[in-house]
Structure formats: structure tokens, C-alpha cells
Chains A and B, each alone.
Chain A
């Protein structure tokens, strides 16, 4: 059973309340594809991914980034139930999408860096620790149904 302190919940809510899911999601996914180019293997149908500029401007990347981070928002509403919240998505990523769960960890770390760049000094060490815990647990929940 995962335990969240009141402080951790506060640190998550404070940050999330100020995040634009669309911008942040697009940025995080674009960076995943740029910093770890082998992750492009899952996005053959996305069109032009030939340069950082192309990736950042790609409307399919933006749309998908928004989808991914919207789903992350669900996790935040269900911090005590991450495994059941992500149960179906976990099955989907394993059985249909065939995504190595390592990619969830990579995206989580990138999201933390995007937040750091956005919030500057306000992204304190305590804040980072809470968000590293959150992204780690989300990755774990998404990997839970793999077989």
C-alpha cells in the first residue's frame, strides 16, 4: 500500500494546479522523442519526426502528449488507487501497444525536468522528491499487468 503524507499531496496539488496539461504534455512527449530518439519506434504513423523542430511542431505529438498527461491527471485524482486506475491502460500497453515499461520511467523523468524548467526555484528538492515518487509509482502501475 502506497502512503502519501499530507505534505506530499499538497506538493502535488500545488504544482498540478498550475500546469497546462496540453503544453506540458506536448513538451514532455516531444522531449522524450528528441532526447531518446529510439522511442520514436512507437510512432511510425506520426509523420515528420526528423528534427527537434519538426517534433516540437508536430500536431500528432502535441495531441498525443496532451492525451498522456490528461491520463496522468487521473492518477493524481486517485493517488491511493494507482494500480486499479491504470489496470486497463496497463493491459493495453502490454497486449496491443507492446511498449517496454522502461519507456514509462524515461517519460516520468522527462516530465520532472519539464516541471523543473517551468517552476524554477519553486521546484524545491522536496517537490522533486514527491514528483519522482509519483512518476515512479505511475510507471510501476502501468507495468503491473504486463505478462
Chain B
């Protein structure tokens, strides 16, 4: 799977539209993930998972910041996400099926904010991007 020049442009344009609402988007994405896919909660037994909790906001901000960094480095995702890739492989060991759940919930969060602007082309580019991120994160699993 390859991100085309057009995909990269759409991803960057879309991200710019979010106007730095990193924490809100991250928190909402995580909350939606825990709510729609309750098995994902097994990775957060130490968290207060109520809507708007400090931990969800803090963690959501982290996740979105990492994605923002990836978007600045679309030509070299493997390198940009290398440390996170190590973390997920050796430390967190989150089953990769969960990356799809997060992708779905992030896309729903984006779609609720962007409405018609979440066009099929944007949808496709973002889905590909999140797929690529998931692949890098799972790269060193075995």
C-alpha cells in the first residue's frame, strides 16, 4: 500500500483544518474506542475511563501529537515512528487488531467535525494513512 502525492496533500490539508484541537479530538477518539470496542479497555485497567477524564484527555493528546508528527514525516513513517514502534512491540504489545478500532473511531471523530468535507477522497487518504501507521507500529512485533 502506497501513499500517493495526492493522498499526502489531502492528509496534510485535513489535519490543518482541525485547528490544533488535538486534545479534544484525541480524547473523543479514545472515548469512542472504549465505548464501541469495550475489549480495548483491557489495555487501560489503571485509567479512569469516564468521558472527559484527565487520563483520557492526556493520553488522547499524546496519541494525536504522535499522529501529527507522522503527518509531518509522511515520506518516512518508519523512521518517524521508530520509537513508538519499539514501544508497542516490546513494551505495550497491543494486539494489532486494535489499531483498526482506533482508526475507525478517529475517522468517525473527524467525520463528525468535517461533515461533507470528509469526502470519499479524504476518507480514502486518511484510511490509508492510519493503515500505514498501524503497519509501522506492528513492524517489530516478531
Contacts and interface: CB of A to CB of B under 8 A. Distances in A.
A35 B124 contact: yes
Interface in B37-83: 37, 51
Interface stretch (B14-22, B114-122, B134-142): B114-122
A6 interface: no
Interface residues of B, number: 24
B3 interface: no
A125 B36 contact: yes
B123 interface: yes
Interface stretch (A10-18, A41-49, A112-120, A138-146): A112-120
A129 interface: yes
Contacts of B123: 31, 34-35, 113
Nearest to B38: A129
A125 B127 contact: no
A30 B123 CA distance: 12
B124 A128 contact: no
Given A125-B35, A129-B35, A117 B120 contact: no
Main secondary structure of the interface of A (DSSP, over half): helix
Contacts of B36: 125, 128-129, 132-133
Interface residues of A, number: 24
B118 A117 contact: yes
A136 to B, nearest CB: 10
A120 B113 contact: yes
Given A34-B120, A34-B121, A128 B113 contact: no
A51 B97 CA distance: 30
B120 A116 contact: no
Interface in A5-32: 30-31
Interface string A104-131: 0000010011101111110101101100
5 contacts: A34-B123, A52-B121, A52-B124, A113-B107, A128-B36
Interface of A: 30-31, 34-35, 52, 55-56, 109, 112-114, 116-121, 123, 125-126, 128-129, 132-133
Interface of B: 28, 31-32, 35-37, 51, 104-105, 107-109, 111-116, 118, 120-121, 123-124, 127
